[in-house]
């Protein structure tokens, strides 16, 4: 008889045989790329926080006055926005301690930046005498003078301050009709600045202060109050931060001496985060944009198709004897700064 083969074992349906069984892999550790990405994020965020903290400390201590720190200080609002992004990234990678540090730092930066977005305007009676002013940088004659004169006409300006004047600019402005609109003026192209007015000017002269470029000044009667105007153009901190600081100190001395009826308007080459500008405001002057809650109004650089204005270097500042009613920016062809138009009212100081 033949030998019968032993019965083969019967396995449940679908169960692997010994030959085909596979060993389940052990639980794997996080991928190296994931660890690397987190490390890169932490290092990048840490460096960004260090830079942000350094600039914030410089802002609190006023270390930009007369130093190269003035250059990055102009971008403090952007730094605050960057700090907010860093805080969100740190939360995303679960670095909670660093995220808390970023949140505290952001709170300090917002405390410095946000007040300019809160209106602090006073009630202005409808009968209060008004003064409509504008400041424009002629960009050494590159500005479209006819467009600037058209703005004077349509905005019904009482006073126009111009910086970076040249003899050709002065002739072109008059040729475009400014002499008929504003026959009263102090125009000193060699002094860089000029003041034009519809109304008679009082004691029009070059400011007797030690500024890099001579600034022109004049008084104007507004409802029985003599408002003292200064057409401002300071040196720029990228060229020499010390001269820039000295220019702003000289203007602060002038504003202090003039008192409540001072109006300083022009290209300050400074933002509200610069210590010398804050000194002007601490000594009694008010920034018209901040007063009306217009804390974000970049004026430079202008006229570039691929780059919008990034920072506000141009301002209309006034003493306590006046209040801002409105303020706006206008782009004039050929200029590298936006023109500011403001309406001021005489009020009780």
Phi, psi values for residue 117, rounded to 5°: -95, 0
Q: In CATH terms, is domain 121-346 a member of 3.60.10.10? A: yes
**Reported pTM:** 0.88
The dihedral sign for the CA sequence 337, 148, 254, 290 = negative
Q: Which of 317, 295, 299, 319 is nearest to 308 (CA)?
A: 299
Side by side, the strands of the sheet bearing 339-346 are 184-187, 194-197, 159-163, 130-137, 339-346, 322-330
Please tell me the distance from the alpha carbon of residue 18 to that of residue 21, in angstroms, as a whole number: 5
Instruction: Give the distance, in angstroms, between the CA of residue 82 and the centroid of all CA atoms in the same chain.
Output: 16
Please tell me the distance from the alpha carbon of residue 18 to that of residue 37, in angstroms, as a whole number: 42
The dihedral sign for the CA sequence 35, 36, 42, 45 = negative
Q: Where are the domains of the chain?
A: 32-116, 121-346
pLDDT in tens, the chain (349 residues): 554 555 555 555 555 555 455 555 555 555 678 788 889 989 999 999 999 999 999 999 999 999 999 999 999 999 999 999 999 999 999 999 999 999 999 999 999 999 999 999 788 999 999 999 999 999 999 999 999 999 999 999 999 999 999 999 999 999 999 999 999 999 987 778 999 999 999 999 999 999 999 999 999 999 999 999 999 999 999 999 999 999 999 999 999 999 999 999 999 999 999 999 999 999 889 999 999 999 999 999 998 989 999 999 999 999 999 999 999 999 999 999 999 999 999 997 5
Specify whether the CB–CB gap between 231 and 205 falls below 8 A.
Answer: no
């Amino acid at each position: 008889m033949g030998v019968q083969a032993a019965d083969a074992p019967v396995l449940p349906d679908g169960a692997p045989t010994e030959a085909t069984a596979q060993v389940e892999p052990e639980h794997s550790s996080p991928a190296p790329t994931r660890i690397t990405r987190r490390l890169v994020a932490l290092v990048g965020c840490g460096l960004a926080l260090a830079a942000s903290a350094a600039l914030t400390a410089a802002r609190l201590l006023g270390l930009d006055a007369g130093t190269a720190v003035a250059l990055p200080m102009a971008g403090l609002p952007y730094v605050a926005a960057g700090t907010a992004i860093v805080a969100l990234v740190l939360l995303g990678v679960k670095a909670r301690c660093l995220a808390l540090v970023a949140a505290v730092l952001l709170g300090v930066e917002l405390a410095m930046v946000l007040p300019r977005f809160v209106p602090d305007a006073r009630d202005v009676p409808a009968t209060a005498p008004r003064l409509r002013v504008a400041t424009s940088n002629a960009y050494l004659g590159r500005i479209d003078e006819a467009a600037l004169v058209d703005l004077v006409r349509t905005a019904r300006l009482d006073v126009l301050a111009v910086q970076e004047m040249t003899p050709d600019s002065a002739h072109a402005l008059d040729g475009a009709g400014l002499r008929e609109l504003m026959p009263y003026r102090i125009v000193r192209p060699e002094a860089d600045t000029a003041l034009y007015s519809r109304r008679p000017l009082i004691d029009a002269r070059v400011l007797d202060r030690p500024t890099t470029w001579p600034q022109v000044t004049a008084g104007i009667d507004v409802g029985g109050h003599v408002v003292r105007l200064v057409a401002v153009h300071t040196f720029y901190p990228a060229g020499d931060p010390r001269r820039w600081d000295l220019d702003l100190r000289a203007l602060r001395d002038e504003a202090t001496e003039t008192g409540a009826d001072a109006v300083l308007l022009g290209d300050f080459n400074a933002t509200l985060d610069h210590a010398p500008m804050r000194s002007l405001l601490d000594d009694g002057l008010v920034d018209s944009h901040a007063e009306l809650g217009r804390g974000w109004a970049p004026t430079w650089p202008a006229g570039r198709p691929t780059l919008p204005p990034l920072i506000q270097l141009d301002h209309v500042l006034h003493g306590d004897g006046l209040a801002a009613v409105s303020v706006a920016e206008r782009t004039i062809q050929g200029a590298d700064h936006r023109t500011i138009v403001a309406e001021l009212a005489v009020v009780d100081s």
